[in-house]
Structure 1
Amino acid sequence: MTVVALLSVAPVTEDSMASEVAKAVAALDDFDVSYETNPMGTVIEADDIDTLLEAVAASHKAVDGDRVSTFLKVDDKRTSTKSARSKVDRVEEELGREARKER
């Protein structure tokens, strides 16, 4: 089984969030998950939902602030072990190219 999630954790502030977001990302290192951060959030992969949710909770708690906003979207593939990368690979196969374009 593979659980893939999109996580976004940020303090509610007018200032730069980079240092707090870095704390949220660093908290994931303590768990048996893989992850990749992009401009809109962090994609996380875990073997099971419990591991994923423990990592997400730690990430949320790592951010300082009076108010913290967390967005989580989960794809719990209970009958498959395909990775997040395999999902992108399949789209790129259909496109016949990388799924990206530089301006």
Structure 2
Amino acid sequence: MTTVALLSVAPVIEGSLAEEVAKAVAALDEFDVSYETNPMGTVIEANDAETVFAAAAAAHEAVDGDRVSTVLKVDDKRTADTTAARKVEAVEEHLGRRAKRER
């Protein structure tokens, strides 16, 4: 997989966003992508940018609300295959440890 993206979809509402975010994440299941949700968004991996854009658009449409805010950051590396996990591993190699810390 060569396209890695960070997607954040949220309705502009009061209270918890969890139910609406779950709808956005569930919409990704209709596409040939792998994904991992974290507290600030969802990392998506696909073979091409077009698939990421289509999946992100479906996630955006899945959320109810008078106003929906969507942010999509795409890394479309065209010269080599990579994965989100490999990107983290490269940072960890330079750190000499895991790139995670608990308080």
Range class of TM-score, shorter chain: over 0.9
1:47 aligns with 2:47: yes
The separation in 2 between residues aligned to 1:16 and 1:91, in whole angstroms, is 33
Q: Which runs of 4+ in 1 moved over 6 A?
A: none
Q: Under a length normalisation based on structure 1, what TM-score does the superposition of the two structures give? A: 0.97
The separation in 1 between residues aligned to 2:73 and 2:52, in whole angstroms, is 11
The separation in 2 between residues aligned to 1:82 and 1:48, in whole angstroms, is 12
1:11 aligns with 2:28: no
Q: Under a length normalisation based on structure 2, what TM-score does the superposition of the two structures give? A: 0.97
Per-residue deviation at 1:96?
A: 1.0
Paired residue total: 103
Per-residue deviation at 1:3?
A: 0.7
Counterpart of 2:83 in structure 1 is 83
One-letter code aligned to 1:47: N
The separation in 1 between residues aligned to 2:43 and 2:14, in whole angstroms, is 25
Per-residue deviation at 1:49?
A: 1.0
Which segments of 5 or more consecutive residues in structure 2 lack a partner in the other structure? none
Identical positions, percent: 73
The separation in 2 between residues aligned to 1:46 and 1:38, in whole angstroms, is 18
